[in-house]
Each structure stands twice: as structure tokens, then as C-alpha cells.
Amino acid sequence: MQKELLSYIAGFLDGDGCIMAQLVHRKDYRYGYQIRLSIVFYQKEQKIEFLEWLKTKLKYGYIRNRNDGMAEYTIVGPQYVQEILIKLLPYLRLKRKLAELVLEISRIPKQLTAKEFLQYAELVDLTAKYTYSKKRTRTKEVVENYLKEYKILSP
């Protein structure tokens, strides 16, 4: 992609998008939680064509209409998020530090110990410093308590 286009997309992400790192409870996962990384762009439903155009440029993800008249284009997964953030990072302004932190999280190894998983959960907690989330309840502490309760991590 050309620098001008990457700069434009980065500006859109800075203004009408978000970069997220979440701890999602998943019983079928080794440590009971998944670290989910995503990039989301928002637009009114009437402008969904713009999100469709954006998807043709970034290639990954899906578009959905929400119940509040908004549409969102979501890209999920460490590999996809990493690839896109590496391209956009030089042009990000407002979300640059958040993007750098999410890039660090995206390098999570496939095999890791419970203690190493908690270190990544702590990085996820750090992303809250750069976001406006008020509903966040799943933190490193919650994951750590889960791991101790199920005897996955020694007290």
C-alpha cells in the first residue's frame, strides 16, 4: 500500500477506530482465558460502503451492523492485527503508544507457562491506560485467581 493511503487509514483509526486487547474467558483454553487482539473501525450505517472499501484495502476481518445505527469493521487475531499495525504505526498519532503495546502482546508465543501467560495478561491491563473503557472487569488479577483456583498456578 502507498504511504498516502496508509497515512489516511491511520488517521481514520486515530479518530474513528479502536485498538483493543482483551482477556476473554474461554473454558476450552489451556489457562481458561484467551488474549484477544482486535482493530475496529466505526461508521454510521449509511456510510457502510466506506467500511467495505476499507476492507478491500486491509483484506481481513468482517463488517456488521449494530443495533444503534452504527456499523463496524472488525479485524481480530494477533497475526492480522500485527500485520496491519506494523503498516500503520509510522502514521499513528493518538493511538501510537497503544499500538506499540498491542504489537508487543501480538508476539505472544504459542507455548508458554502460566506465569508467562500472566505477564501477557499484565500487558493487556496496561492497554487500559490508553483507552476509555469503563466496563473492563477481566484483569490479570482475575486470571491469576482463576489459575490458582484450578491449581494451574501455585499460590
* CA–CA separation, 95 and 43 (whole Å): 18
Beta-carbon count within 10 A of 34 CB: 14
Which residue in the list 11, 14, 15, 61 is annotated as catalytic? 15
Residue 32 annotated as catalytic = no
Whole-angstrom Cα Rg for the chain: 17
* CA–CA separation, 122 and 14 (whole Å): 24
Cell (9 digits) for 138: 477481566
Which residue in the list 11, 16, 32, 68 is annotated as catalytic? 16
Q: Which of 105, 112, 114 is nearest to 31 (CA)?
A: 114
Residue 15 annotated as catalytic = yes
Positions marked catalytic: 15-16
